[in-house]
Amino acid sequence: MKKGLRELNIRGLGVIEDATLNLEPGFTVITGETGAGKTMVVTALSLLMGGRADVSAIRHGSDKASLSARLIPNEGAVDLAQELGGDIEDGELLITRTLSRDGKNRAVLGGAPTTLNALSDLGEELIALHAQSSTFRLLKGSRQREIIDLFGGDELSKELIKYQKLFKEYRLIISEIEKILSLNQARESEIKRINEFFLNFNKVKPILNEVKSLRERADQLENVDSFTTGLQQANLSLGEDESSALVQISQAKRAIEGIPANSKEIDDLKIEISQLQILVNELTRSISSQLDSLESNPQELETINLRRSELSALFRKFSVDQYEDPAAELISRADADAKLLTQLQDGDGAVAELENRKAIISEDLGKSANKLTALRKVVAEKLSLESTNEIKALAMPNAKLIIEISPTSSELSVLFAGELLPCGSFGSDDATFLLIAHPGAPALPIQKGASGGELSRVMLAIELVLAQTGSVPTYLFDEVDAGVGGKAAVEVGRRLALLARHAQVLVVTHLPQVAAWADQHFAILKSSTESVTSSDIKLLTSEERVSEIARMMTGLSDSSSAQEHAGELLDLVKMEKGRAQVR
């Protein structure tokens, strides 16, 4: 069973009221007039994969948008979905998401409620989205380095993780050294501050939760008379008075025991009243014990009030009186100041120890950074070659992509092998994608060395190479063919069709030359009234497909000459596919 997306249902999103796409493996295109809602398909899948929601995307007149996707996941997605509590039924995974105008969102993964972050993590295993926005991201140097690392596979990924762990530790050591050196500049005043703090702290020696216990005991001593009166009255009512509860319970017990009937109900009553008598006896003893412990103690009350005053003064002095437990805050400060005092008193020794650790980490960090550089150069050469082959196949036969790995301009440098090695969060390298557009042309950054249409093809070539090395079962391309036409557009369709041999490929396009290569063709059909615009999604038959491609070519779906050209294009593509299968 081939992996990938099998069904997508969209309700109440944008101009789409209710539409379902039943998808097959291979190459699927989605076409339609401008404004018909092609983008809503991309939006729906993005939302189902954990994308951020905008309530403005909910259809006008609807209170909510409901989305669902039925997929056959790969092994990585199955493991992650089950880890998140989702069920896989008959090899299929169901994901749903609901957006409400009140801002409430609900996501369900395999029958279990889930979070957007969880959907986003899972989405990386299920669908790879390549959109026009990806093209702009590819122009950034940081993204170009990310592409190298992505293409580099496990070996590069593991080395990068190792490097980042070392880099984090290196930064932490530098921070600790800077902190101590900074404090050393004001060492004497800081030591004086800490000593004064401990002079006051140790004089009072606050205890955790002491304020609360002192307040409760003071309340008890201040209200001893009212406590005594209440407890005495309770004791009389329960046991000491002739009409007390205990006397009446005893009378009731004798009456029940005197009943001659021998039945389970009467036996149960005897047990219950005996238990009640025991309970009341225990209660009266507890009250008597409380009364015995209650006595007026003005001296203890005075001692407690003095202690509370002493604590309050300490808390106010060090501005912790606003905390729920001022003593806990002050004790925490005391612990921190004790450690700081040790560092200040032995500042030179602490710095020396940290410098030794820094030297050891520097050696390991430098080795890891150099290994990353070596790996990236190998990967860059391979990616350059494969991308250049794709670019040539996209009607740019003389173009060449060069990927340059150069030292990063990071402000942080590490002493390694007697030299300063610049290091950043991702290593010592920057990556630059350069294009030689034709023989004799200089190698320029791709955004400067290519026209709009050429840039789209270069970006698509890179995307295709990356897609072929990915493990996700479904690739979604959203108008990545913008700015492309003619023969180049035919080649774009051909390359996407080749990719579809290895994975499911979904393409939103406006180019008939791309649409003609699809195995499955959906059209977004728009209808309008005076107040409402709606769109439906339809799987086209062979005849309907000819009309749709004719519309894409000329804007006239009913034109016989346009349909003739559309039919010819479809036949040529069909013949080309047949030859490819034979080969």
Q: Residue 143 corresponds to which tokens in the numbers above?
A: 């993204």
**In the CATH scheme, what is the homologous superfamily, with its name and number, of domain 1-130+473-540?**
P-loop containing nucleotide triphosphate hydrolases (3.40.50.300)
Which of the residues in the chain have pLDDT under 50?
582-583
Selection from 362, 360, 359, 382 nearest residue 155 by Cα = 382
Residue 582 confidence (pLDDT): 40
Selection from 131, 167, 206, 190 nearest residue 460 by Cα = 131
Residue 583 confidence (pLDDT): 43
Q: What is the DSSP letter of 479?
A: S
Write out 178-244 in H/E/C secondary structure. HHHHHHHHCHHHHHHHHHHHHHHHHHHCCCCCHHHHHHHHHHHHHCHHHHHHHHHHHHHHHHHCCCC
Query: What pLDDT digit, counting tens, does each position of 498-533 carry?
Result: 888 888 999 999 899 999 999 999 998 887 665 566
Residue spans of the domains in the chain: they are: 1-130+473-540, 209-324, 544-583
Residue 545 confidence (pLDDT): 94
Query: What pLDDT digit, counting tens, does each position of 338-386 carry?
Result: 888 887 777 667 788 888 999 999 999 999 999 999 999 999 999 999 9
Residue 371 confidence (pLDDT): 96
Q: Residue 364 corresponds to which tokens in the numbers above?
A: 């390991």
Q: What is the mean pLDDT of the chain?
A: 85
Q: Give the strand order in the sheet containing 93-100.
A: 112-114, 105-109, 93-100, 64-72, 4-13, 16-22, 533-539, 520-528, 27-32, 504-508, 474-478, 127-131
Residue 551 confidence (pLDDT): 92
Selection from 292, 276, 284, 280 nearest residue 234 by Cα = 284
65-97: buried (b, 16+ CB within 10 Å) or exposed (e) per residue?
Answer: bbbbbbbbbbeebbebbeebebebeeeebbbbb
Residue 507 confidence (pLDDT): 92
Q: How many Cβ atoms are within 10 Å of 338's Cβ, its own excluded? A: 11
Residue with tokens 């003893």: 285
Selection from 536, 502, 508 nearest residue 521 by Cα = 508
Q: Which residues contact 382 (CB under 8 A, 6 or more apart)?
A: 151
d(CA 243, CA 300): 38
Q: What is the DSSP letter of 378?
A: H
Letter for the amino acid at 30? Answer: I
d(CA 548, CA 555): 9
Q: Which helix (H) or strand (E) holds 443?
A: none
Query: What pLDDT digit, counting tens, does each position of 198-210 carry?
Result: 999 999 898 888 8
Name the phi and psi angles at 137, rounded to 5.
-65, -35
Give first-to-last CA distance, the chain, whole Å.
Answer: 25
Write out 140-187 in H/E/C secondary structure. CHHHHHHHHHHHCHHHHHHHHHHHHHHHHHHHHHHHHHHHHHHHHHCH
Strand-pairing partners, residue 5, are 71
d(CA 404, CA 373): 11
Q: Give the strand order in the sheet containing 429-436.
A: 400-407, 429-436, 444-445
d(CA 198, CA 192): 10
CA angle 496-500-503, nearest 5°?
A: 130
Query: Is residue 422 within 8 Å of 412, Cβ to Cβ?
Result: yes
Query: Is residue 353 within 8 Å of 173, Cβ to Cβ?
Result: no
Selection from 108, 119, 96 nearest residue 10 by Cα = 96
Residue 146 confidence (pLDDT): 86
Selection from 569, 551, 567 nearest residue 559 by Cα = 551
